Amino acid sequence: MSSGPVYSKGVDISCNPPQEISYPLPKARLTALAILPVVFALLGLFLLVDAVTAGESKRGNDSVSLPDIEPISAIPLKVDVNWDKVALGEKLFNDPRLSHDGFLACASCHQLDQGGDDGLPLSITNTGEPGVINAPTVFNSAFNFRLTWRGRFRTLDDQVEAVLHNPMEMNTNWTEILPKLQADADYTVLFSRLYLDGIKGKNVLDAISNFQRSLITPNARFDQYLRGRRDALTEDEKQGYQLFRTYGCAACHQGVNVGGNLYQKLGIFMDYFAGRGKVTEADFGRFLETGADSDRYVFRVPSLRNVAVTAPYFHDGSVSDLEEAVQKMGEVQLGETLAKAEISLIVKFLRSLTGEYRGRSLDME
Tell me which residues are annotated as active site: 169
- The amino acid sitting at 222 is F
Element spanning 357, H or E: strand 356-357
Helix spans in 126-234 (H): 156-165, 174-182, 185-194, 201-213, 221-226
C-alpha–C-alpha distance, residues 348 and 337, integer Å: 18
Strand partners, 263: 300
Alpha carbon distances (Å) from 327 to 321, 322, 330: 10, 9, 5
Within 10 Å of residue 226's Cβ, how many Cβ atoms? 16
Least Å distance between CB 174 and ligand HEC? Answer: 13
Contacts with ligand HEC: how many residues (CB under 6 A)? 53
Question: Considering only residues 216-255, where is the footprint of ligand HEC by CB under 6 A?
Answer: 244, 247-249, 251-253
Question: Considering only residues 287-326, where is the footprint of ligand HEC by CB under 6 A?
Answer: 299, 301-302, 304, 307, 310, 313-315, 325-326
What's the distance, CA 155 to chain centroid? 13
Q: Which of 164, 169, 155 is nearest to 206 (CA)?
A: 155
Output 203 or 310, the one with its CB closest to ligand HEC: 310
Does position 75 interact with ligand HEC (CB under 6 A)? The reply is no
Least Å distance between CB 61 and ligand HEC? Answer: 17
Among 29, 58, 110, 245, binds ligand HEC (CB under 6 A): 110
Q: Of the listed pieces 26-34, 192-200, 232-240, 262-270, which binds ligand HEC according to CB under 6 A?
A: 262-270
Residues that bind ligand HEC (CB under 6 A): 93, 98, 104, 106, 108-110, 123-124, 131, 133, 135-136, 138, 141, 144, 147-149, 156, 159-160, 163-164, 169, 208, 212, 244, 247-249, 251-253, 264, 266, 268, 299, 301-302, 304, 307, 310, 313-315, 325-326, 329-330, 333-334, 346
